[in-house]
Amino acid sequence: MPKKAKELTAMEVQRLTKPGLYAVGVVAGLQLQVLPSGFRS
């Protein structure tokens, strides 16, 4: 069984600036995308 990612807090999400995909940890497979412009979705 895969290891579950740690839940991200609101402050941790605000500090994400490097573009990429980040595991959110609430639901398996749920990811937060940070774009080169800094936009998060």
In whole angstroms, how far apart are CA 7 and each of 11, 19, 33, 36, 37? 12, 19, 15, 23, 24
Query: Which of the four pLDDT bands, split at 50, 70 and 90, describes residue 3?
Result: confident
- Per domain, the residue ranges of the chain are 1-41
pLDDT, tens digit (0-9, with 9 covering 90-100), for 8-38: 999 999 999 999 999 988 788 899 999 999 8
Q: What pLDDT shows up at residue 37?
A: 93
**Intra-chain end-to-end CA distance of the chain, in Å:** 27
State residue 27's pLDDT score: 83
Candidates 4, 1, 29, 26; CA nearest to 13 is 26
Q: For residue 17, what pLDDT is reported? A: 92
Asked if 23 and 30 count as a contact pair (C-beta separation under 8 A), the reply is yes
